[in-house]
Amino acid sequence: MEQYEPRIIAFLCKWCSSAGSDLAGVSRMKYPPNIIPITVMCSGSVSPLYVLSAFRNGADGVLISGCHPGDCHYIKGNFYARRKILLLTELLNYIGMDEKRFKMSWVSAAEGAKFTELAKDFVEEIRFLGPQNKLIRGN
User: What ranges make up the beta strands (E) of 29-128?
Assistant: 35-40, 61-66, 102-106
| Residues 33-52 close enough to bind another protein by CB under 8 A | 33, 36-38, 40-42, 44-50, 52
Hey, which residues between 83 and 122 contact another protein (CB under 8 A)?
A: 83-99, 103-106, 116, 118
Alpha carbon of 119 to those of 6, 12, 58, 87, 104: distances in Å?
A: 12, 12, 18, 23, 12
Helices (H), 13-103: 17-26, 48-56, 77-94
Shortest spacing between CB 139 and another protein, in angstroms? 5
Residue from 6, 9, 16, 17 binding another protein (CB under 8 A)? 9
| Residue among 16, 73, 124, 125 that touches another protein (CB under 8 A) | 73
